[in-house]
Each structure stands twice: as structure tokens, then as C-alpha cells.
Amino acid sequence: MKTMTFSPLDRVLVELDRALFTAFQPEPSAQRPSPAGALADREWTEPERRHAAALMRINHVGEVCAQALYFGQAAVARDASTRAHLLEAAAEETDHLAWCGQRLRELGDRPSLLNPLWYGGAYAIGAAAGLISDRLSLGFVVETERQVEAHLEGHLDTLPAGDERSRAIVRQMKEDEARHADEALAAGGAALPAPVKGLMKLAAHVMRTVAYRV
């Protein structure tokens, strides 16, 4: 069977299509059903609804960024197995994106207005990490997913009481992120320097603060 090859222009168009799809489509198709399933929703006060929606908007932005990171890293990966690993993880993150988008709509709210900016910045960071080496790129996945896992744990603590639909989604996302980190580590991910980890935490804090409101 003949292997399909892409010209540089083809690759640019593929990446542009991915960016437009991720940043602007509110609810892509998920391969797995939402963990919220048939769980009943609760009665909301307006402050509780706004808070739950803001947390799910943060999670939606996190998944936009995850897609961008993985696609940026995969675009410059040297090893075919590394590229396949990154694209497989990105496909699973699409489920998270769909679940968060659906939950936002249920809560009567919207994704972040800055999603194109989040996507572009995360893609650039992922590509920069990938250009250095595949091992560093995989190490970046490990640290990113560990930090995401920690912030999802925080959301489980701060979601309004009785919001079991959001909690079910966050729990499954947390489980998936932990597995992505373990798989990237097993694939040869290199440990990142402490200053890089600190900068990643700072960038994530800025994203969460802004996405809560915008």
C-alpha cells in the first residue's frame, strides 16, 4: 500500500483546520459517552450556576490547550511512535472537549471568548518543546498532565454541592490525564527543570484566572 505524503502547504492546511475545529466548534463529536450519563441535574441558585459554569469553562479551555499542545508537539516530532502517541492522546482529549462543551450548554453558559488565543499560545509552546527533542516533548506532556490532574482535584472540591453531572465529567478527565502522564513517562519522557515547571504553573494560573470570567 502506498504511503500518503504531505507537502509543506498540506501540513499547514491540516494544522489550520485543526485549529479552527478546536477553537471554534463548541461541541465536537465524542468517541465515548459523557460520564454524566443519566445523572440528574440539581436546582441552581444563580451564583452557584455561574460558579459551576466558570469552572467548566476553565476545563474547556484546558482541553483546547491540550489539543493545541499535542498537535504542536506531533507536528514536529521526529519519531513516528512519539507522533502516534501524541495524536492518540489528542483524540482522547477531544472527548473531554465535547463533554465540557455539552456541560457548559446545560449550565446556560459559553466557552471562553479567548479560545483562539489560548490555542495559538499552547500550540507554539508545544511545537517549541517538540523542536528541542522528543524526550523533552514527552516530559512536557508528563508535567502538563500532572498539573492538570491537580487542578481537576481542586475543582472536585469547589464545585457546588450536588453538582454530580459536572463531578462525573471531572473525575473521568482526571483519570484520563493521569494515564496520559504515565504513558508519556513510560515512553521516555524526560524530567523538566524546576524553573520550567514553575513557569508552566504560572501560565496555568493566568489562564484559569482569565477563563473563569472571559
Span 168-179, pLDDT tens digits: 999 999 999 999
Report the predicted TM-score, pTM, of the whole model to 2 decimal places.
0.86
Q: Would you state the CATH architecture of domain 42-211?
A: Up-down Bundle (1.20)
Span 82-113, pLDDT tens digits: 898 888 888 888 899 999 999 999 999 999 99
Nearest alpha carbon to residue 142 among 191, 72, 71: 191
| Statement: residue 24 has pLDDT above 80 | no
Give 115-119 contacts, CB < 8 A, sequence gap 24+: 115/22, 115/23, 115/24, 115/61, 115/64, 116/19, 116/23, 116/24, 118/23, 118/61, 118/64, 118/65, 118/68, 118/207, 118/211, 119/19, 119/22, 119/23, 119/64, 119/65, 119/67, 119/68
Question: For the chain, what are the domain ranges?
Answer: 42-211
